[in-house]
Each structure stands twice: as C-alpha cells, then as structure tokens.
Amino acid sequence: MLKNLYLGIDIGGTRIKVAIVNSEGIIFEESSIATDTKSKPVNVLKGIVNVAKNFKNYSKIKSIGVGIAGDVCFQTGVVRFSPNLKMWRNIKLREILTNLTNKKVYVDNDANAASIGAFYLDAKGKTTDLVCITLGTGVGGGLILDKKLYRGITGTAGEVGHITIDAYGKKCNCGNRGCIETFVGAKYLSKFVQDYLKNKNSKIINRLVGKNYKLITPQLLAQAAKEGDKIAKRIWKMVGEKLGIFLSIIINFVNPDTIILCGGLSHAKKYFMKYILQEIKTRAFKSATKACKIVVSESNHKLGVVGAAMLSEQ
C-alpha cells in the first residue's frame, strides 16, 4: 500500500526539478527541465505542470510544494523577489499553481525546503533540533526546531548567511558588512582568490586556469588542493576557520543536536572540516558542542525537491 504522495518542485536559476515523493521522503518519479528565465512566470509554471501531469502517479498526489530562492511569503504563497529570476517579482505562485492543478499548493524559499529535505533524508526524521546550512553561491539556512520548520514572524528565520563575523569586513549584497557569506559564498570566495593571487604565485592554479583567474571556482580550488597546492590549502584553512567561528555562534545560540552542511562548497569538506572542528572546540560551549553532530549531506541534489514536496507536513 502506497503512503501519501506529494509533488515537489524545486525552481532554480538554471534548472527546475520535479518529483513525486512519499511521506517518508522517498522519490517515486522525477524529472527536470531547463529554467526559461526569459519567459513569463505563468508560462514557466504551465511547463512544470505539463511535466508533472505525465507522471503516472500524478492523480494520487495529496498536495504540491514549491521551493524557490528569494523572498517568499509562506502564508500567501507570493514570491516577492527571486535573485536568479529577474521576472519573478510579486508573483502569486500559489494562486497560479492552484488554478492550473486544482491541488493544494505550498510555497517557501529554497533554503527552508532544503532544510526539510535534510530532516527527512539525512536525519531520517529522527533529529529534534536541526540547522541546515546551504553553502552555494551564497549562504542560506533553515531551522528545524522540535521537529518543525521555524520561519519566524516575517518568514526570514534561518537567514544565517548574514550573521556578521567581521564588523569591518567586506560589503555584502544584503547591505551589511562582514557576513559569513562574504567569506565562504562561492562568488565572494572566487573573487577573494583572484585578488589573492595577484601577489602570489601558484603553478598548479595557473595551469588549471591558464592564468585566467576569472575561471577560478571553489571546485577548481578543491582540485588544486587535491594536487597539493599550498596556496589552495591555505585558503581552505581560512574557509574552515571562518565557518568554525560561524558555526560556534549557531551552536551557542540554537543548541541544535544536528548541523547539516549542503551545497557545492560542502563537497570540499576534506580540505576544511578539521579547521571547523578546531574553531568550534575553542569557541563553543563544551556541552553544546558534545551534543551537536556536524555532518555533510549525502543527498545534496535531492534536498530541495524532497523538502518542497514535504512542505504540507510542516
């Protein structure tokens, strides 16, 4: 006998993932399409619905959940703004999808969806207080407290990427200075490495990018570290130290039993994790540190779509 089935939609800047998921977070059917950033949102949503209706279990779904990057109002289902989708401003996403499908629809931001996905896939629903940190182009996060997603009064709880760790640091796109995102967000990190190499010489990185430093990415930096590059290793040490300071704040303030790291940067864990743990040991309360398990997600590519599907459970 099938458990309840839900449709999950993860709308990204380049691709859209669609999947039917059961109440245990297991994917039954899935597909993906390219994100047409030049089309009107309603046309993009019509394309998503066409994909979903081709699933053999579509008629059995209980509800639809959507995760999308940006400023999202969970209560109204309105996308106020999405940084990767310039045409998506004040879009009544829930209303449009409801009219297209006659199904119950839930909408939230992608970091909250990823947190729910981490709760079901990585923690198997057994954690009580979980913080999920997304380490991608920027830094996002979500809070699962007492097994439920915590959104805060305006829905912006979990915006951990804009916690200040250096009051006089670089200007962040959010308007603040010294946010953790300005140190470990992929865009900022790549720019930092480009500037750093103006006064340093790395034969390995030069070979990997052909001296075109604009090609530097965290993935390339990880490859350089793998090949033994000292500069790359030094930069990953800095990343680990900054993340350790940041996670110490999270541990002391939230006192979670689990922190899950996900996103592209998390794949380089072997080059920075030990420095995270060293900083936490120095800075966080011992009892809170001992009670908190820090892991890297093993379900990175599934978190958003599974979490979106399970929004009705939250």
Q: Name the segment(s) of the chain with CATH classification 3.30.420.40.
A: 5-117+302-313, 127-297
pLDDT (tens, 9 = 90+) of the chain, 314 residues, equals 457 999 999 998 889 999 999 998 999 999 999 999 999 999 999 999 999 999 999 999 999 999 998 889 999 999 998 877 889 999 999 999 999 999 999 999 999 999 999 999 999 999 999 999 999 888 999 999 999 999 998 888 998 999 999 999 999 988 999 999 999 999 999 999 999 998 888 999 999 998 899 999 999 999 999 999 999 999 999 999 999 999 999 999 999 999 999 999 999 999 999 999 999 999 999 999 999 999 999 998 899 999 999 999 88
Residue 239 tokens read as 């990343």
Distance of CA 136 to the CA centre of its chain: 7
* pLDDT (0 to 100) of residue 84: 77
The pTM of this model reads: 0.90
Strands 258-262 vs 27-34: parallel, antiparallel or unpaired: unpaired
CB distance 185 to 251 below 8 Å:
no
Amino acid letter, residue 286: K
Annotate 278-304 with b (16+ C-beta within 10 A) or e (fewer): ebbeeebeeebbeebebebbebbebbb
Any idea which architecture 5-117+302-313 has in CATH?
Answer: 2-Layer Sandwich (3.30)
Strands 130-135 vs 71-73: parallel, antiparallel or unpaired: unpaired
Alpha-carbon distances of 216 from 82, 187, 205, 224, 234, rounded to whole Å = 26, 10, 8, 10, 15
Fold of 127-297: Nucleotidyltransferase; domain 5 (3.30.420)
